[in-house]
Structure 1
Amino acid sequence: MPNQLNHPATKLLALLTVASLLWLRNTTTTIEWVAPEPIDYPTTTQPLYENQPLPALTRNVHASQAVPLPDGRIAVFWFGGTKEGHRDVQIYRQILKDGQPQGEPEPILSADQLADRLGIYVKNLGNPVPFYHNGQLHLFVVSVALGGWATAQVSHLVSDDLGDHWHNARQPILSPFFNQSTLVRTTPRVTREGFIVPAYFEQGRINPMWLHFDDHGQFLYSETLPVEGLQPAVAPSSAGEADLLIRPLQTGPVLHIESDGHGEIERPESVNPPQNPKSAVAVLPLNDQEWLMAHNPGKRRDSLVVSHTRDGGESWQPLKIIVREDGERFSYPSLTVDDDGVFHLFYTHKRERIQYVRFNWAGLTE
């Protein structure tokens, strides 16, 4: 039998893997995060708590992500099709106003449409991440040409009319390894130079990444973090620093990292770190030290809760069980807030639909 280690293809694969890992070496880039405006949530109003399914046009849906629009509406995006990874998966958009869906969900992007825009082959689509910045709505989408999610790429589209039309499709160069193995999931955050899209790398090792963009949405560079984990959710502070809540690789506590913006990171202690079944979390900063987090609280994805911290993650208090049903799966939450202090939570309900929960502070804590 010939020695497979001497095969040219094997040598090429090894060389590209090493090149990719060297490219993705840990960096010490200085980042000055810009904290969101503190959220004014009235605590004495009448409780508001509404729970409804969004219309589903496909058998399987997953990975919703929402963005408030400047006209007061909420846009939520997800992928749906016969099943995850299938050729017929498309990206869908649903517009909501005052808590009500405005019409049916609209398919806005298929694999074939993205392939035509990019001029390359695209087999299927995954996680969409919308972000409104500097007068434009950005949409980042996971796309796959060959294999599965471990060979995924990030595609970037832009809209000047809040998502009715999309243009300028491109793929940032993130890795020499065929530009593969990078995925996105969580909300981008503003920096002094523009914004950062949190990402994660899945080839040879699993690390959170930062994708840096300037104020006009042009890709600048990427960097990796010297920790292992998936889908980092970011809570910036007014000091230019940030806390990261990261999906762990094994069932256990949510990984909490403090970043000073100069490449130094710490793992702060928590008296009761939220447990996590290797599942995505959503973090919403209310101010520098106060955050909400939507997450699966135990060893399985059969319940979803919203927890609260007032001390930057040193301690957590579960506020509301959103859903719980033994043996089922509720996952991939997205959490945002509008200008009236009303919160909007979306999550995957049994892979059958996207569930929408709308509440104010009184409704969350009653």
Structure 2
Amino acid sequence: MLRNLSITFTLIFLSLNIYAQKVEIIQSTTIFEKAPFEACHASTLVDLGKGKIMAAWFGGKHEGNKDVVIWSSIKTGTQWSLPIEIADGIINDTSRFACWNPVLFKTKNGTLFLHYKVGPNPRIWWAEYKTSINNGKTWSKAQKLPKDFLGPIKNKPIQLPNGTILYPSSTESLDEKTWAIHIEKSDAECKNWKKININCDTFGVIQPSILTYPNGRLQLLCRSRQNVIVESWSENNGETWSKLKATQLPNPNSGSDAVTLKDGRQLLVYNPLTAGKNWWEGRSVLKLAISTNGENWQDIYTLENHAKGEYSYPAIIQDRNGNIHLSYTAERKKITYVEIRLVRSP
């Protein structure tokens, strides 16, 4: 009996120690104050090294409008550069489509990728990408991914130790009734693509994030129509995946993002409410949660807390020095950026 009590108290102490986190704000700002577009959304971040962070997002008159292009800015020290256009949906002199959902990713060999979508809507868009070998100073011409491949839909890929890149992907059917996630993978050069299907059960899910664990174990966390974040697990570096199941985390049919920290813990940025009558309802609160096992999550910081409004589509990364960087949409008018450090409470 005493031994069981000792084990119980030890587990409680370890649990409290895990979650006894102080979030230290290093910087909190908007990436731009004035910009040559009316609306913006779907930001992404990448660590360029030497203290520089690049952000990208789509912006134009409104989501889906033909003038929507991909913009980017680079943070040096505490200052963000003026937004510049880095990709568009121009097909020819008479044909143009909106751009969507940029995803920045830097491979182990130093190549910077910009993945994004082009098309009239998410049901019939296609995937394009550009590369840069000088941290975004110049970009290659846009290239399309192979037919029927979409690459990362919203959140960043991961690169395995053998160089293989895994892309968290998803599709939306033409009748808008079916949402489903899957994994795509390529080699380190963005070639030799393969699709890995996942049993989505009865869930309508899109926009997964990938988390990593020891011994080739991976986890997906997905946006759903069922008012909950949904998960899937792999035990073999993403070659096969478990059938989707619900987590205990609420989700108002809004995008989230997650990252595996260097110390093995997991961070998740998400809207912790449920959906309302209108699509934007439930996006007025944005929180940061932590976990050691991907199953038990604890909220540790509130980024936004409002009665109404939209604060959504977060991105999260950790830089080489261990600091954590977040960005998210603020009322479709600004992109908010926050740099934090996790400090264990005494």
- In the superposition, the TM-score normalised over structure 2's length comes to 0.82
Q: Secondary structure at the match of 2:49?
A: coil
- Going from structure 1 to structure 2, the CA distance change for 1:269 and 1:79 (only over 3 Å counts) comes to closer
In the alignment, is residue 302 of structure 1 matched against residue 287 of structure 2? no
Q: Which residue of 2 aligns with 1:21?
A: none
Q: Which residue of 2 aligns with 1:197?
A: 167
Q: Secondary structure at the match of 1:151?
A: coil
- Going from structure 1 to structure 2, the CA distance change for 1:46 and 1:326 (only over 3 Å counts) comes to closer
Q: Which amino acid is 2:105 matched to? A: F
Question: Residue 100 of structure 1: CA displacement?
Answer: 2.5
Q: Which amino acid is 2:215 matched to? A: A
Would you say how many aligned residue pairs link Structure 1 and Structure 2? Answer: 308
- Going from structure 1 to structure 2, the CA distance change for 1:61 and 1:278 (only over 3 Å counts) comes to same
Counterpart among 144, 150, 158 of residue 171 in structure 1: 144
Q: Distance in 2 between matches of 1:342 and 1:240?
A: 25
Q: What's the CA shift string for 1:217-264, capped at 9, x where partnerless?
A: 22422233221410010002231120111111222x210211123424
Q: Which residue of 1 aligns with 2:100?
A: 126
Contact 1:344 1:357 in 2 (8 A): yes
- Going from structure 1 to structure 2, the CA distance change for 1:138 and 1:46 (only over 3 Å counts) comes to closer
Q: Which residue of 1 aligns with 2:30?
A: 53
Counterpart among 321, 324, 330 of residue 343 in structure 1: 324
Aligned identity (percent) is 23
- Going from structure 1 to structure 2, the CA distance change for 1:98 and 1:260 (only over 3 Å counts) comes to same
- In the superposition, the TM-score normalised over structure 1's length comes to 0.77
Q: Which residue of 2 aligns with 1:30?
A: none
Q: Distance in 1 between matches of 2:267 and 2:165?
A: 22
Counterpart among 306, 311, 322 of residue 325 in structure 1: 306
Q: Distance in 1 between matches of 2:269 and 2:333?
A: 20
- Going from structure 1 to structure 2, the CA distance change for 1:323 and 1:45 (only over 3 Å counts) comes to closer
- Going from structure 1 to structure 2, the CA distance change for 1:219 and 1:129 (only over 3 Å counts) comes to farther
Question: Residue 70 of structure 1: CA displacement?
Answer: 3.1
Counterpart among 167, 185, 191 of residue 154 in structure 2: 185
Q: Which residue of 2 aligns with 1:23?
A: none
Q: Secondary structure at the match of 1:150?
A: coil
In the alignment, is residue 213 of structure 1 matched against residue 183 of structure 2? no
Q: Secondary structure at the match of 1:111?
A: coil
Question: Residue 45 of structure 1: CA displacement?
Answer: 10
- Going from structure 1 to structure 2, the CA distance change for 1:98 and 1:219 (only over 3 Å counts) comes to farther
Contact 1:307 1:320 in 2 (8 A): yes
Q: What's the CA shift string for 1:67-90, capped at 9, x where partnerless?
A: 101333100100011100111111
Q: Distance in 2 between matches of 1:247 and 1:46?
A: 25
- Going from structure 1 to structure 2, the CA distance change for 1:338 and 1:219 (only over 3 Å counts) comes to same
Counterpart among 238, 242, 251 of residue 265 in structure 1: 242
In the alignment, is residue 108 of structure 1 matched against residue 86 of structure 2? yes
Contact 2:54 2:74 in 1 (8 A): yes
Q: Distance in 1 between matches of 2:219 and 2:229?
A: 12
- Going from structure 1 to structure 2, the CA distance change for 1:264 and 1:65 (only over 3 Å counts) comes to closer
Question: Residue 51 of structure 1: CA displacement?
Answer: 1.6
Question: Residue 289 of structure 1: CA displacement?
Answer: 5.5
Q: Distance in 2 between matches of 1:149 and 1:46?
A: 36
- Written as runs of structure 1 = structure 2, the 5 A alignment for 1:210-249 is 210-227=183-200, 228=203, 229-249=205-225
Q: What's the CA shift string for 1:256-285, capped at 9, x where partnerless?
A: 211123424155786xx1101011111011
Contact 1:289 1:309 in 2 (8 A): no
Residue range with higher mean Cα deviation, 292-301 or 218-227: 218-227
- Tell me the C-alpha RMSD between the 2 structures: 2.7
Contact 2:43 2:58 in 1 (8 A): yes
Question: Residue 183 of structure 1: CA displacement?
Answer: 6.7
In the alignment, is residue 86 of structure 1 matched against residue 65 of structure 2? yes
Q: Distance in 2 between matches of 1:365 and 1:343?
A: 17
Q: Distance in 2 between matches of 1:78 and 1:258?
A: 29
Contact 2:183 2:197 in 1 (8 A): yes
Q: Secondary structure at the match of 2:123?
A: helix
Q: Which residue of 2 aligns with 1:15?
A: none
Question: Residue 315 of structure 1: CA displacement?
Answer: 1.3
- Going from structure 1 to structure 2, the CA distance change for 1:183 and 1:220 (only over 3 Å counts) comes to closer
Residue range with higher mean Cα deviation, 196-205 or 58-67: 196-205
Q: Distance in 2 between matches of 1:96 and 1:90?
A: 20
Q: Which amino acid is 1:198 matched to? A: P
Q: Distance in 2 between matches of 1:309 and 1:216?
A: 33
Q: Distance in 2 between matches of 1:121 and 1:223?
A: 33
Contact 1:129 1:140 in 2 (8 A): yes
Contact 1:245 1:254 in 2 (8 A): yes
Which of structure 1's runs of 4+ aligned residues deviate more than 3 A? 43-49, 119-122, 266-270
Q: Distance in 1 between matches of 2:234 and 2:300?
A: 27
Q: Which amino acid is 2:185 matched to? A: H
**Unaligned stretches of 5+ in structure 2?**
1-19, 275-281
